[in-house]
Amino acid sequence: MNYQPNILASTLASKKTYRFATFFPEPASDVSYWNKPLIGVKRAFQEIQQYGVEISNYQFKQSEAKSFKNTAEEIMKNPPDGVVMAPFFSREARQFIQQLDENNIPFVFIDSNIKDCEKISYIGQNSYQSGALAGKLFNFSIPGNASILVVHFAKEMDNQNHLVQREKGFYEYFKENDTDKQKSLITLEITNPADKSFYRQIDQVFKKNPNIKGIFVTNSQVYRIGQYLEKNNIEGIRLIGHDLIKENMEFVKNGTVDFLICQRPEEQGYNSVTSLFQHTILKKEVANEQFTSIDIVTKENIEYYKEFN
């Protein structure tokens, strides 16, 4: 007779409580990037809490893989019914994923993706395509024989999957499109930018490579390069970074940052929780990859993006 049970009604009647855990990097400030997915998480929670869902938020330090490991251990002391996580540190994330699999705990990735695992879904930007887009923007906007500096503000760069994918997309774009090898690509990893000691590192790079006409920052800290360029009165550098946070907006508006490659973190936070809810409680099939838009924000259109990022 094509009867289908009302799962939501059954859930309400059973009075069962489902505990979800979110596991994100600790925001660097009140206006930094990782506050924004939490806004989406809160909005999703307001919609689904009536079905017996509780959400506990866990955070780890972006500069310490050990912090990720310790917080993962804390989560597993009271295993949740589902996890939304940013697999920021690949090695530690894989160890945590193994624990989740052993305990049959479903999980959703946000912001960064690890392909070869049994996740429910990945919600976020295609990091590889994001890097390739940055390459294309440079290819159109700087001289053919110029040098481009790729800057990673990251500790254990090889362990941060989303940055590795952005760099891979960037380099492979030029491999495929700069067949004459006219452009020179230089990579610089900066592990401790807080005290601005990295200025000396960049000074040395500029001294060795006076033909640098572009700088690509692979995460949301492009404002740090903006500060460096302004402090040293350096002009004529095309500067591209990621994410529409308050610090970056200032440098877009004054023209120091030419392009921000942006995603929609609030939307990601919202969709990650609702996807876990649909899988765990509604027993619905969820798309394995849910890519959010890759937006290019400039001085000319930034005012139209404030409410979306």
What separation, in Å, do the N-terminal and C-terminal C-alpha atoms of the chain show? Answer: 47
Pick from 212, 98, 165: nearest CA to 173: 165
Residues 121, 275 contacting (CB under 8 angstroms): yes
Cα→Cα distances 68→75, 96, 228, Å: 11, 9, 31
Total domains in the chain come to: 2
30 falls within a domain: yes
This prediction has a pTM of: 0.86
Tokens of 215: 């700088």
**Is the same domain home to 28 and 69?**
yes
**Is the same domain home to 255 and 283?**
no
157 falls within a domain: yes
* Least-confidence region, from 103-112, 134-143, 171-180, 285-294: 171-180
203-260 pLDDT, tens per residue?
A: 999 999 999 999 999 999 999 999 999 999 999 999 999 999 999 999 999 999 999 9
**What does the buried/exposed string (b/e) look like for 153-165 if buried means 16 or more CB atoms within 10 Å of the residue's CB?**
bbbebebbbbbbb
- The per-residue pLDDT for 306 is 67
What phi, psi does 226 have (nearest 5°)? -60, -45
Counted residue by residue, the chain has a size of: 309
Range of the domain at 97: 7-124+265-292
Question: To 5 degrees, how large is the angle CA 162–CA 167–CA 169?
Answer: 95
pLDDT reading at 30 higher than 90: no
- The per-residue pLDDT for 28 is 77
**Is the same domain home to 120 and 178?**
no
**Is the same domain home to 220 and 252?**
yes
In CATH, what number is assigned to the domain containing residue 213?
A: 3.40.50.2300
- Residue 50 has, within 13 A of its CA and on its CB side, a CA count of 5
- Quote the distance between the C-alpha of residue 240 and its chain's center: 16
Gap between the Cα atoms of 239 and 222, Å rounded: 8
